[in-house]
Amino acid sequence: MNKRNLLASLFFGQHGLLPKTFFLNHSRGDRLIVLAYHRVFDLPDQGYPFDEETVSACAEGFEEQITWVSRHFNVMNFHDVETYLKRDGRLPKRALIITFDDGYHDNYEVAFPILKKIGVTAVVFLTTSNVETGQPFWFEKAVYQLKKMEPRRLVLLSGRLPVEVGEKNRAASIRTVLSIFKSIPDEERRRALEELDRQTEIDVPCEEGKLARPLTWEEVYNLSREGIEIGSHTVSHPVLSRLSAARIHQELFESKRSIEERIGKRVISVSYPVGESDCYDESVIRAARACGYMFGISYSQGIAEYSERSRYDLPRVRVERDIGLPLFQANILLPALFLTRKGGSLRETPSTG
């Protein structure tokens, strides 16, 4: 058990020192808690060929978390937030939104039945090109190739990025490559992915690809019909701040248009891919406004003190698969102590977003 889990158990465990009711009763009314999930999935014991870091919780842990949340918070989506603000000019106390980035199939197959059983809504942010093609997200394919390749030296970015991939350093190499791919201009990232294709000569077989497949449009429509809000996560999951103004607009506008055509409802929220502070900027926020989004969501750690100014810069509480329920509760109830703005509560450099 790591230090944060241990400290959280001391505070909020079964025989914890701090009463959770005190923090719940003194919750501020202008705060908006947004939980960030990617996947709810029971990982196999070994041999998983894609990125384990995209898995936020197992099914049992997710149900435990959402059961607690449903008992103590006003769970809503961004359409509900818009309604509250128009009607009352403020949010209710303990306002909380459950979100999922990317749009994995298990959002429908695993998470949605639990949400429906408990009776709460959520928001699923879609990367629409992958919903169209059914292919794994670009970062999942890259991880698959790096896991499956024979140990050897790769030379990416036209020779500027040599990477030694061996059995002992494979996990570290994967994190390094993903981090660099997310830090460079988008055209360079695309070329680097092509180089990775050529040098590994590895494609994702259909059967294994099902382990990390995105939602289908039929599943998206069914989620929407059942009260789950559908938001945008762009067309192709680029880092928006690495794009030209025209490409930013295209990614935001086309994803919004595609979703609205499929579900017949307004899309008012966008989650910025990767979502760290250097991954979106004022030009991205201006484009989101211009495209008709009402809310912009980052992947920075924190709980928003909601205001008109913060509407396009909303932080989230990241949920990661190796946190226990006490730490999950502590992240929400004592964010100043348990959340860190950079990199999350458990690791320094997130691979997802």
**3-state secondary structure labels for all residues of 216-278:** CHHHHHHHHHCCCEEEECCCCCCCHHHCCHHHHHHHHHHHHHHHHHHHCCCCCEEECCCCCCC
With a cut of 50, say whether residue 94 has pLDDT above it: yes
What whole-number distance in Å separates Cα of residue 303 and Cα of residue 337? 12
Helix axes 138-148, 186-200, angle to 10 degrees: 30
Amino acid symbol at 230: I
Distance (Å, whole) CA 32 – CA 305: 6
pLDDT-wise least confident of 18-27, 40-49, 90-99, 271-280: 18-27
Asked if residue 341 has pLDDT above 80, the reply is no
Is pLDDT of 70 > 70? yes
In one letter, which amino acid is 216? T
Look at 123 and 14; give whichever has higher pLDDT.
123
Query: Rg of the chain's alpha carbons, rounded to an integer?
Result: 20
User: What's the first-to-final CA gap in the chain, in angstroms?
Assistant: 25
- CB atoms closer than 10 angstroms to residue 200: 18
Mean pLDDT of the chain: 90
For position 27, what pLDDT does the model report? 60
Name the class of domain 3-8+22-135+209-338: alpha beta
What is the rounded CA–CA span in Å between residue 54 and residue 347? 13
Instruction: Note whether 25 and 93 are within 8 A (CB).
Output: no
State the residue for tokens 């001391």. 10
Question: What is residue 345's predicted lDDT score, i.e. its pLDDT?
Answer: 30
Of residues 20 and 135, more confidently modeled: 135
Q: Looking at the chain, which residues constitute the CATH 3.20.20.370 domain(s)?
A: 3-8+22-135+209-338
Return the SS3 of 305.
strand
Residues, the chain, total? Answer: 353
Residue 317 pLDDT > 90? yes
Q: What is the spatial distance between Cα 304 and Cα 148, in angstroms, rounded to a whole number? A: 41
Q: Which two tokens stand for residue 220?
A: 């998206």
The region of weakest confidence among 3-7, 9-13, 143-147, 252-256 is 9-13
pLDDT band at residue 342 under the 50/70/90 scheme? very low
Which residues have CB under 8 Å from 225's CB, separation 6+?
Answer: none
- What's the predicted TM-score (pTM) here? 0.93
Sign of CA dihedral 349, 33, 16, 60: negative
Q: Sign of dihedral through CA atoms 142, 144, 145, 147?
A: positive
Dist. CA 35–CA 61, nearest whole Å: 14
Confidence of residue 18 (pLDDT cuts 50, 70, 90): low
By CB atoms closer than 10 A (0-12, 13-18, 19+), residue 207 is: exposed
Q: Which two tokens stand for residue 339?
A: 């959340």
Assigned token pair, 4: 């944060």
Contact assessment for residue 301 and residue 339, using Cβ atoms and an 8 Å cutoff: yes
More confident residue, 79 or 15: 79
